[in-house]
Amino acid sequence: MPVFVANSETRSKRAVAVRFSNGLLNAEDQDRVAFKCYTHKETRSNPALATNHIVTAEVDGMLYVGKNFGPANRFSTENCDYYFGVHNRKTGKIQVISAALCQLEPMINDKQIVDEVDNKSFREKRDALAKDFGSGRNQRAVNKRLNNVLDDDMISATAVSVVDSQHTKDQVTELSETVKSETSAVPPHNKDATTPDEVYKLKDLISSEVLSSMSFKAQVFAGCTRENIVEWREKKEYFSFILDKLETLSLREDARMLQSQYLMYLQYLMKVYLMKSKDLARKFPLPSDWPAAVSKHILETFTREISEPGKRFQRCTPNRLKDLLLSHILVLSLKLSQFCLILDPLMIDLNLSHKRITTHAITLGCTIKKTKGNMDKDVYTAVLTVPLKFPEVKGKRAKNRIF
């Protein structure tokens, strides 16, 4: 639940609310927190700056800072606006107030310590803990593994020195890069992106022509009411993740239609992901009421045709294209969730285990957070942050593929 922050200095009529990135603030603990809200002073010359806020909170000697603008902003207003409703119990009316949302992150002053910790991998951090606090058995296991790594490095260096031909070296490098690109299920991305929104571009996932062809189909989402969503939920006409997002569509018509188009496209992708191999093997496997441009785009991107002389037509979905389809689903879901995606609804909709979907999210550069929900149930959340960090590729033998 967000915490409302009073800001008497700003001329903006927005209500500023914050949430902490590492926990929730109880109502009885709010008195211990000292909130401060800052707004740009030059608002007369540039009124747009009046909507930019910086909020600080100090509790138990720790300082938390949050912004609603720039790369640190977790709540993008590019495709949507945020509002709060204030209910007057006496009159029974609700006053709608424009909202500015901030996420507070802990601020650590010692930058050198932060850089040193961030530069270490998860395994290096775990090894350091085992050396300092682990049992004798764990310490011996860490030392043995590190010695084996050193031996492997020496063997690799010796093997490379034996190769005299530069042409042979180039061929080996080219082959390794080809295998890595073929086995990768990560969509086109910008590894040097400064904001999460710049990591994966929507135009790389679906073209503007394909998106515009869904305008007619998306109208059912753009014009839906609360009663429609309840009815669809009872009949299970759409996936639960899609219905959850329909409840938070933007009030702006252009942004609402754009969100509806992406949600309808995501509905199609999830349906294709759950289709059986025998159903996809047909010549026309997708429903006839889908837009032709969308069906063609999905089949060309995530399936392969097999045409052999004297044999009937066949279509299949190799494992790497199945993984690519799941990557597109997760990336679209991340963008529709402001890059903080609760994975449980998708796990249920796609019949996936938490290990399968969390591993795939990590492959896309996400960080997985596990919290306790209702009935003490584990809730998994994927967060896409920058700078982008992909997991290290282990040197396993690549499986032979036909496609």
CB 200 within 8 A of CB 335: yes
Pull the structure tokens for residue 295.
């069906």
Exposed e or buried b for every residue in 169-184, given b needs 16+ CB within 10 A?
eeeeeeeeeeeeeeee
Q: What is the pTM of this model?
A: 0.54
With a CB cutoff of 8 Å and minimum separation 6, the contacts of 13 are 97, 98
Q: How far apart are CA 331 and CA 346, in angstroms?
A: 12
Residue 76: the pLDDT is 65
Whether 187 contacts 334, CB under 8 Å: no
Q: Return the bridge partners of 58, or none.
A: 34, 63
Angstrom distance (rounded) from CA 302 to CA 232? 28
Cis peptide before 387 (omega within 30 of 0): yes
CB 360 within 8 A of CB 283: no
Contact (CB, 8 A) for 7 and 99: no
According to DSSP, the residues that pair with 106 across neighbouring strands are: 64
Cα 219 to Cα 152, 254, 292: the distances in Å are 59, 12, 17
Q: What is the mean pLDDT of each run of 10 residues along the chain (403 residues)?
A: 51 71 72 80 59 81 80 68 83 85 75 52 76 75 73 50 42 36 66 86 87 88 90 91 89 88 92 86 84 89 76 76 90 89 90 89 88 79 85 54 43
Amino acid residing at 17: A
Q: What's the pLDDT score for residue 20?
A: 79
Burial class (CB in 10 A: 0-12, 13-18, 19+), 255: middle
